[in-house]
Chain A
């Protein structure tokens, strides 16, 4: 069976997807109105990466999982209250601005430093996981940059599945155009896997796992290194919400066959 992996998951917080977001201008560049007050959630695709990492670690004895997150310390602590119960991991927090307008280069640089600081890291066993795109910047760049800076040249994005083979190699399914997957065979770690949704449901909360995780999370948060994450010289000319409020025609009490006729006419138009 394959050697044990060191799985590093990069993932941070984003505003809860159900929140209404409004951009504002600040001296430090664009930001969200009441950003620090907005409820936060683990970035959805990064969350899938974490669940897949925990699942893979269970299958390959001796494997370890780290979650490396950049964000405001207080918000990371809040986030951990829910995430810590989902999977077993060691937490590596980095204090910095996790906003969507911030530079992915700055963010990647901070994450690389944090990863390189993990004691006992053996690059030959590293699988770098994360979401293929964030729900904030949504550029699909940070993980790629982190991987390249760490010298990992087998990178897969939009991953829905990894299957480890007996010899330590693995196959990966990546989402590509045309509603299908590209299947690749990689010789083994190290590799970068930017996850899409994968195939696993969200794990149920496990308070025991949560308690074990929290024992190391709190001291890690206290020691969190600060990182300068900024705009990287980008000049924002405008940031605006789409003004696409439509004048919706509400059709009530119309028989189903009339609605159907109207819909068919519209489709064929």
Chain B
């Protein structure tokens, strides 16, 4: 008989990640006919635990304190280890985040188990737990099971609609985890945003706007219009409240010191060495490769593209509508309409 534990961080309660994880845990527990529990790490965990009061979780555990306020391998790992040992769960579901993914594999290994990250779905068939994840950067999907326990699974965000659990006060069993000095060699100083740029990445936006290298190439008049491109893109992002993605080639141009699109950083990059964001709509402009249209768009539901090549092999079959047009002209008109 499996025993399921949802392992999360208190700061995930505000971003729906915890509710997504609880939804997966509750569904899996129902399929397997077993109970499930919750374990939380953070500076204060009670409030986050209360948000899952009506979720059906049988028990709540917590590790809290100043040492556990920030994402740090050397403190998150012993905290998670203590929680798993206390719970004795066999299947551990962890809402995926940079903080969680930093420790999951080592956590499982220390307890004699195994971890898998970026899990897109977890199901049960004939009492067997099955997980799905992508391989080769979202190029193929596999369904698999593994024999080792505990099996720690990092859940990829945005794959389930989180249930609206009612909140209520819950009893949290607090565990004490004392960190040795060696675990405090790293101090988290805080968050840093890319300097001097507009806020161009909006993970919760409905629309992903992908800009390709075509924006910085010579146009019909034989000139490069990078300034105009910047204005058109920033105007559009502001008016449509869209998130900005970029192709590798465009980002690399910025990194190589070329004065192109000043607000573009590697954080904007989608595709093979970038992100595969989840937005309901995607509009690609001046892109001509596999990266924006396939890998970077894997989890974008409705897709449209504007480029000059009607035969673009990557756009055809991957986008719902391909407008064969000059993106400069089109986006200028789009901005005019949005301003009206």
Asked whether any CB of chain B lies closer than 8 Å to the CB of A215, the reply is no
- Kindly list chain B residues whose C-beta atoms are within 8 Å of the C-beta of A100: 135-136
Within 8 A of B (CB), among A201-232: 201, 232
Q: In the complex, how many residues of chain B place their beta carbon closer than 8 angstroms to a beta carbon of chain A? A: 97
**Looking at the complex, which of B51-59, B161-169, B220-228, B313-321 is the stretch in contact with chain A?**
B313-321
Beyond contacts A144-B104, A181-B193, A267-B240: 13 other A-B pairs, Cβ-Cβ < 8 A, are A17-B291, A104-B105, A139-B117, A149-B109, A157-B102, A183-B190, A186-B186, A196-B273, A199-B255, A234-B146, A246-B303, A246-B318, A249-B320
Q: Does B141 contact A (CB under 8 A)?
A: yes
A147, A156, A248: the one within 8 Å of B318 (CB): A248
CB proximity of A52 to chain B, nearest CB, Å: 13
- Across the interface, do A260 and B188 meet the contact criterion of CB distance under 8 Å? no
Whole-angstrom distance between the alpha carbons of A148 and B318 in the complex?
Answer: 41
In the complex, A34 Cα to B74 Cα: how many Å?
42
User: Is B1 engaged at the interface, CB distance under 8 Å to the other chain?
Assistant: no
Contacts of B329 in A (CB 8 A): 256
Report whether over half of chain B's contact residues are helix, strand or loop; otherwise say mixed.
mixed
A251 at the interface (CB under 8 A from B): yes
| C-alpha gap A68/B189 in the complex (Å) | 32
The docked-state distance in angstroms from the alpha carbon of A248 to that of B325 is: 15
Which B126-168 residues sit within 8 Å CB-CB of chain A?
Answer: 130, 134-137, 139-148
Instruction: Tell me which of B106, B135, B306, B320 has the highest count of chain A C-beta atoms within 10 A of its own C-beta.
Output: B135
Whole-angstrom distance between the alpha carbons of A187 and B187 in the complex?
Answer: 9
Interface string of B249-260 (1 = CB under 8 A from A): 001100110000
> Is the CB–CB distance between B144 and A237 below 8 Å?
yes
Out of A30, A145, A184, A251, name the residue touching B324 (CB < 8 Å): A251
Q: Are A183 and B74 in contact (CB under 8 A)?
A: no
B 66-103 to A, binary, CB cutoff 8 A, 1 in contact else 0: 00001111100100000000000000000001110111
Main secondary structure of the interface of A (DSSP, over half): mixed
A28 within 8 A of B: no
Nearest Cβ on chain B to A217's Cβ, whole angstroms: 25
Chain B interface (Cβ < 8 Å from any Cβ of A): 15, 70-74, 77, 97-99, 101-106, 109-110, 114-118, 130, 134-137, 139-148, 182-183, 185-194, 199-201, 203, 206-207, 240, 251-252, 255-256, 266-267, 269, 272-273, 281, 283, 290-291, 298, 302-304, 306, 310, 315-326, 329-334, 336-338
Residue A153 at the chain B interface, CB threshold 8 Å? yes
Contact across chains for B266 and A145 when beta carbons are under 8 A apart: no
Inter-chain contacts of A140 with B (CB < 8 A): 101, 105, 117
Residue on A with the closest CB to B297?
A244
- Contact between B144 and A234 (Cβ–Cβ < 8 Å)? yes
Whether the pair B135, A263 counts as a contact (CB closer than 8 A) is no
The residues of A that contact B324 with a CB separation of less than 8 Å are 250-253
Give A86-123 as 1s and 0s: 1 = Cβ < 8 Å from B's Cβ atoms. 00000000000000110011000000000000000000
Q: Hey, which chain B residues are within 8 Å of A237, CB to CB?
A: 130, 142-145
